Amino acid sequence: MDWIRLKLAEVLGTNQPVSKKLLVLMVCLVAAGVFLINAITSPKELAVSVPAQADETEVIVKPAEIFVHVVGEVQAPGIYQLKSGARLMDAVFAAGGLSKLADQSSVNLARELSDGEQVVVFRTGEAPAAAGPNSKNSRISLNQSSALELEQLPGVGPALAGRIVDWREANGGFKKKEDLLNISGIGDKLFAGIKDEVIL
Would the pTM of this model clear 0.85, i.e. be above it? no
Per-residue pLDDT tens over the stretch 10-19? 655 555 554 6
The greatest distance separating any two alpha carbons of the chain, rounded to the nearest whole angstrom, comes to 135
Give DSSP secondary structure letters for 6-72: HHHHHHHTS---HHHHHHHHHHHHHHHHHHHHHHHHS--------PPPP--PPPPPPPSEEEEEEEE
pLDDT over threshold 80, residue 1? no
3-state secondary structure 116-134: CEEEEECECCCCCCCCCCC
Q: Which residues contact 107 (CB under 8 A, 6 or more apart)?
A: 88, 92, 119, 120, 121, 122
pLDDT over threshold 60, residue 148? yes
pLDDT over threshold 80, residue 87? yes
Summarize the confidence of residues 86-98 as an average pLDDT. Answer: 91
pLDDT value, residue 81 = 92
Angle, helix 18-41 to helix 2-12, in steps of 10 degrees: 170
Q: For residue 145, what pLDDT band results from cuts at 50, 70 and 90?
A: confident
pLDDT over threshold 90, residue 141? no
Separation of alpha carbons 112 and 86, rounded Å: 6
